[in-house]
Amino acid sequence: MEITLITIFTLGYLAITLEHSLKIDKLIPALAMMSILWALISFFHLPVFEVDTLLKQLKPTHLDEILLHHLGKTAEIIIFLLGAMTIVEIIDYFNGFATIKSFIKTKSKKGLLFIFSSLAFILSAIIDNLTATIVLITILQKVIKDRNTRIWFAGLIIISANSGGAWSPIGDLTTTMLWIGNKVTTAKLIMYLLIPSLVCMMVPVFLASTLTAFKGDIADELDEFESGTHKYGAPMLYIGLSAIIFVPVFKNITHLPPYMGMMLSLALVAIFAEYFSSAKFGFTSIDQEHDEYSSHSPVHSSLSKIELPSILFFFGILLAVAALESLGLLFEFADSLYTAIPNSDIVVMLLGIGSAIIDNVPLVAASMGMFSEIIDDPLWHFIAFSAGTGGSMLIIGSAAGVVAMGMLRIDFFWYLKKISWLALIGFIAGSLTFILMRDLIL
């Protein structure tokens, strides 16, 4: 039966990886394999286990208990993401991201490269790497008219955004998973990963700045956003970003799960949004008058733009991996892996390279079930770095790369030829920096 379950998971995983070829949204195989795996566990009364992190061993439990446990952990991540996504959409409702364009004052390609890379690195640590990439490519389209030049910039934005998201607990979904799962803390995550992530970004950017594509100046004048700027755009940008940054602070002060802080931040941002829009809105209002003004509410408008397919995909893949974890398969696989490759650094770097080929969310979810190291063990920080930055080596290896590919129609093989080697060098440089720092700190 274990072979059957692993086969189902492998086929579902393969369908997720080949979603563009199969023309099937990845949420479908994720939800299907999740449901089938748990159904088979229940139907055949398979024994389920939970990991005793202190003794580093499995102990039997009941199906209802372990399923509720994993559902709770998954719900924490989903509620957190819903709050973060809504805040970002509220900022966008007021066209707040147009404020970022005011930082762009040069026409030098090399200067623009450093500006966009720096913005990607900083923004991705606050609003996540996917959103940062969307925002900066939107601005990029307004600043650089030549498509060939634009896709070169997009390639470095992908690398920088993925690097910036790795060192922040709210910068990349996989890092957020480790943070919410009590594998890493904010302070240690920043201490271990800020410098390696910076190296991972700076090495490719400096190498790229020597290439012909970034020589000279851009030919066109800098255009303004066609839609103009909202008078409350800048205030909402600063309020929204501050609210998201407040979440780790709230967790450290109250020791409550991160989603509680995110809900408080969302409430505060919503208050300002409703005040600025002068819309009458109540979260609990369900009367008929609600329909008359709901379209004018920035909160309702933002909630309607949340990407629910991604949320459902996370739900499906996390609970599917949880099924294998509950059977003890991941724990056993970790033991076998350590026996075959005793060096954990090599294992984690292979995981990073693997994240360029297959989705890094299930890879990190699996690693959380495979390893039982204590909170803030360097292994967890290295996993966060590798999974977050390794995906830059292929354009389909990260959410940032996929969205850039769609927005600018970047060819897979062009990226492989022109950008992948830069990402690989950055990944290796960052990994070696982490290992060196870890050994010196310890």
* pLDDT attached to residue 140: 85
**What confidence tier does 294 reach under pLDDT thresholds 50, 70, 90?**
very low
Q: What is the pLDDT of residue 296?
A: 64
**pLDDT at residue 432, as a whole number:** 95
In a domain, 25, yes or no: no
What's the gap between Cα 323 and its chain centre? 23
pLDDT mean over 209-222: 78
Indicate whether 305 pLDDT > 90: no
Residue 338's pLDDT band (cuts 50, 70, 90): low
**Residues 147-172: tens digit of each pLDDT:** 888 899 999 999 999 999 999 888 88
CA distance 290 to 295: 9
End-to-end CA distance of the chain: 43
**167-196 pLDDT per residue, tens:** 988 888 888 888 988 899 989 999 999 999
| Residue 263 C-alpha from the chain's centroid | 19
How many whole angstroms separate alpha carbon 148 and alpha carbon 323? Answer: 46
Asked if residue 19 belongs to a domain, the reply is no
Q: Residue 236 pLDDT > 50, yes or no?
A: yes
Q: Is 8 a member of any domain? A: no
d(CA 63, CA 46) in angstroms, rounded, equals: 9
pLDDT at 39: 95
Average pLDDT, stretch 239-255? 88
List, for residues 118-150, the tens digit of each pLDDT value.
999 998 888 888 778 888 887 887 788 888 888
Instruction: Specify whether the CB–CB gap between 52 and 59 falls below 8 A.
Output: yes
Asked if pLDDT for residue 34 goes beyond 50, the answer is yes
Task: Please report which confidence band the pLDDT of residue 286 belongs to, taking 50, 70 and 90 as the band edges.
Answer: very low
pLDDT-derived band of residue 421, with 50, 70 and 90 as boundaries? very high
Q: Is the pLDDT of residue 221 over 60?
A: no
Residue 314 lies in a domain: yes
Highest mean pLDDT among 83-92, 217-226, 233-242, 428-437: 428-437
* Residue whose token pair is 């957190």: 80
- Please provide residue 192's backbone torsions phi and psi, each rounded to the nearest 5 degrees: -80, -35
Per residue in 7-29, pLDDT (tens digit) is: 998 898 788 777 767 888 878 98
Tens digit of pLDDT for each residue in 376-408? 889 999 999 998 899 899 887 787 887 787 778
Query: Is residue 30 a part of any domain in this protein?
Result: no
Label residue 365 exposed, middle or buried (CB < 10 Å: 0-12, 13-18, 19+): buried
pLDDT bracket for residue 42 (50, 70, 90)? very high
295 within domain boundaries: yes
Residue 85 has pLDDT above 60, yes or no: yes
pLDDT for the residue numbered 220: 56
In whole angstroms, what is the distance from residue 278 CA to residue 297 CA? 9
Q: Are 345 and 435 in contact (CB under 8 A)?
A: yes
What is residue 193's predicted lDDT score, i.e. its pLDDT? Answer: 93
What's the rounded mean pLDDT across residues 226-246? Answer: 80
pLDDT above 80: residue 78: yes
- The angle, 0 to 180 degrees and rounded to 10, between the axes of the packed helices 109-127 and 147-166 is 40
pLDDT of 228 over the 60 cut? no
pLDDT for the residue 272: 93
Predicted confidence (pLDDT) at residue 291 exceeds the cutoff of 70? no
Q: What pLDDT is stored for residue 25 in this prediction?
A: 80
Cβ(108)–Cβ(144) below 8 Å? no
Look at residue 52 in the predicted model and tell me its pLDDT. 61
Distances from the Cα of 66 to the Cαs of 62, 76, 85, in angstroms?
6, 16, 29
Judge whether 7 lies within some domain: no
Q: Please indicate, yes or no, if residue 437 is contained in any of the structural domains.
A: yes
Question: Domain span at residue 113?
Answer: 47-441
Other Cβ atoms less than 10 A from the Cβ of 341: the count is: 12
- How many domains does the chain fold into? 1
Mean residue pLDDT of the chain comes to 83
pLDDT at 132: 85
Can you read off the two tokens belonging to residue 157?
A: 């934005």
Angle, in degrees to the nearest 10, between helices 63-93 and 173-180: 130
